[in-house]
Amino acid sequence: MKKTAIIFLILSSLIFASSESNETNETNSSTWTTKPITKVYTIDYDKNSTCLVRHFKLYKEPKWVAKIEIRNGKTVYFSSPKSLFEFYYRPGKWFDVGVKSERDFSKIVVTDYETLKYIDGEKAFYVYGSRAISPAGDDLVALETKESAEAFAKKYGGKRIFTFDKVSDALIRLLNGRI
């Protein structure tokens, strides 16, 4: 008898709590707001960190720094977007990193040239042909939005704006004077 009474009390309290919860959700559902999840991108380097491709010290030109995180746990740093793309298109040249193809990359991060904010390299916009010169010479300027890339190109004589997937190996060879 006691067990039945206890079970009855527990069930009735659960049902009451459930109905009260539904009423509360229905009345407050219009006031609930959700915020989109924003990814935080970082590039952690120190005075000893160097570019894999050009062996330049990264701290000297922070507005050009980029990195690729690799699925094997390694992080590779670059002194500019041009150096990043050199590695991206020819990872076998640096076989000791352990990359066989672009599928081995887990995250690509570049620095927004104007804000110095770390941004998703695959969503960035790259200005070609501007007067901005990186430590590696003629380069691509990375910017977070198309609007900021257009404004930068207009102000500094940029010739074209590319998305990540439109930057080709041929363009990188052109920037390096190899065509």
pLDDT in tens, 49-107: 999 999 999 999 999 999 999 999 999 999 999 999 999 999 989 988 988 888 899 99
75 and 162 share a domain? yes
Eight-class DSSP state of 73? S
Task: Specify the pTM.
Answer: 0.78
- The answer to whether position 138 is within a domain reads yes
- The answer to whether position 53 is within a domain reads no
110 and 147 share a domain? yes
Per-residue CA distances from 29 to 20, 24, 25, 36, 141 (Å):
14, 8, 5, 17, 44
The DSSP annotation for 82-107 comes to: HHHHHHHH-GGGGGGG---SGGGEEE
Say how far apart CA 108 and CA 42 lie, in whole Å.
10
Q: What is the pLDDT of residue 24?
A: 47
Residue 7 has pLDDT above 70, yes or no: no
Tens of pLDDT, residues 32-52: 777 777 788 999 999 999 999
Other beta carbons within 10 Å of 178? 8
170 and 129 share a domain? yes
Tally the domains of the chain. 2
- The answer to whether position 140 is within a domain reads yes
- The answer to whether position 169 is within a domain reads yes
14 and 91 share a domain? no
Range of the domain at 122: 58-175
Six-digit token string for 145: 């939005």
- The answer to whether position 51 is within a domain reads no
Q: Residue written as tokens 């977070």? A: 144
Other beta carbons within 10 Å of 126? 25
pLDDT above 90 coverage of the chain, percent = 71
- The answer to whether position 16 is within a domain reads yes
Per-residue CA distances from 69 to 88, 108, 124 (Å):
11, 6, 17
Angle at 174 between CA 70 and CA 141, to 5 degrees: 60
Q: What is the pLDDT of residue 105?
A: 94
Say how far apart CA 78 and CA 45 lie, in whole Å.
11
Helix (H, G, I), strand (E, B) or coil at 21: helix
- The answer to whether position 15 is within a domain reads yes
